[in-house]
Structure 1
Amino acid sequence: MTPLSPRLLILLCLALPLHGQEKGRSRGYRKDPDADKFGSCLQGPAGTPGRDGNPGANGIPGTPGIPGRDGLKGEKGECVSEVFEEPWKPNYKQCAWNSLNYGIDLGKIADCTFTKLRSESALRVLFTGSLRLKCKEACCQRWYFTFDGAECTGPLPVESIIYLNQGSPELNSTINIHRTSSVEGLCEGIKAGLVDVALWVGTCADYPRGDASTGWNSVSRIIIEELPK
């Protein structure tokens, strides 16, 4: 082995300390993990968020869609009309007599005037009192109402009858019984205004007249009431 020259030995001695110093420096330095991303500069704190930008302009209108098909045909509706009327108020009247004792067989017995408020309403009439009929043979009498002198036609007359077949031959006398009875009904088609309501007595068709009596020894009354249809 050839011994080293003095100059080579001197250079080797100078290089060894420098090599140890570089090695020591490399051990104390830690590389930033983001160094490859941002180069050799460190990342600073995040900045203030920016403001929203101005709204963009409207886009181009889209093309119209395909028209829809007609639906199924609905059921036919009902025609309903609303009618607003004032609340119905009672309208009635009573005429009364004590011991009328009216013995006629044909004609007007009593009357009672009434103010009807509406043309489309109906009138309910009632007579209550004692009625009697007597005769030796078969007879019939009829008690009925008139309105302004005419019998009711909406729909039919308001009437009551008493029919007596015969008297009492074994006692040689006629039956004479007074009973509280009534004549009552509804009449439509009478115009609004003052109405003369009257009770009459007359004969029955095809039957002889008897001896009639109305309101004997008792109270008789006519009651009239207006009713909505």
Structure 2
Amino acid sequence: MMGTKLAQLLICFWITLPCCVTEKVKERTGRQRDAEFTDKYQTCMQGVPGVQGRDGNPGINGIPGTPGIPGRDGLKGEKGECECTFTKQRSDSALRVLFSGSLRLKCKTACCQRWYFTFNGAECTGPLPIESIIYLDQGSPELNSTINIHRTSTVEGLCDGIKAGLVDVGIWVGTCADYPRGDASTGWNSVSRMIIEELPK
């Protein structure tokens, strides 16, 4: 009787054990399949790099900026030298002088200015003065004529009768006879030159 019950128990245990083992094998196999599916279909694989794209078209110009604040006038410069000291070697020679620089004249109405050389403070008398003039017959009441031309001009000539030794040669601006004075400018925005040459007779 005891032997029969033991046999039944063993048989029952034998039948139950394989079923439990079979369930665990099936469960493990399903998890492995899920993992393989995830690895196969949900993992991003890096492909071959594509061809580099072209540069885009240049953009259009931006909106122009607003004008800046006007600058202030600079400090007034020191007065330049209007004379050159020249050593004349002989009393019977002539001096050739030349001034080259920018000249300009503005005025309200008709005006005239005269640029001339001096030698030791006096104009040349042998044979004649060395001079150049600018005459203007247009302007505006505000002394701001639209005619505001700065021209490089020359004043040139020969002077006799000057003794040997140191000679102060100067270029000056004055008025013309019977004409009012204007607003004269000498040497604006350019190099001015004075050339002095002694010429034997």
Q: Which residue of the partner structure matches residue 186 of structure 2? A: 214
Matched, 1:228 2:180: no
1:1-229 superposed matches below 5 A: 110-167=82-139, 173-229=145-201
Structure 2 CA distance for partners of 1:153 and 1:173, relative to 1, 3 Å: closer
3-state SS in 2 of match to 1:155: coil
Q: TM-score, normalised by structure 1?
A: 0.51
- Counterpart CA distance in 2 for 1:117 and 1:138 is 44
Measure how far apart 1:167 and its partner are: 2.2
Range with bigger deviation, 108-117 or 217-226: 108-117
Cα pair 1:121 1:226 within 8 Å, conserved: yes
- Counterpart CA distance in 1 for 2:166 and 2:108 is 43
Show structure 1 runs of 4+ deviating over 4 A. none
1:185-206 deviations in whole A, cap 9, x for unaligned? 0000000000000000000000
- Counterpart CA distance in 1 for 2:130 and 2:92 is 19
Cα pair 1:109 1:201 within 8 Å, conserved: no
Structure with bigger helix share is: 2
Measure how far apart 1:174 and its partner are: 4.0
Question: What letter corresponds to residue 207 of structure 1 in structure 2?
Answer: Y
Measure how far apart 1:109 and its partner are: 6.4
Question: What letter corresponds to residue 118 of structure 1 in structure 2?
Answer: R
Measure how far apart 1:151 and its partner are: 0.3
Measure how far apart 1:175 and its partner are: 1.3
Matched pairs, number = 123
Question: What letter corresponds to residue 138 of structure 1 in structure 2?
Answer: A
3-state SS in 2 of match to 1:219: coil
Q: Which residue of the partner structure matches residue 11 of structure 2? A: none
Question: What letter corresponds to residue 143 of structure 1 in structure 2?
Answer: W
Unaligned 5+ residue runs, structure 1? 1-100
Q: Which residue of the partner structure matches residue 62 of structure 1? A: none
Cα pair 2:109 2:140 within 8 Å, conserved: no
Measure how far apart 1:155 and its partner are: 0.4
Cα pair 2:114 2:133 within 8 Å, conserved: yes
- Counterpart CA distance in 2 for 1:110 and 1:213 is 13
Unaligned 5+ residue runs, structure 2? 1-75
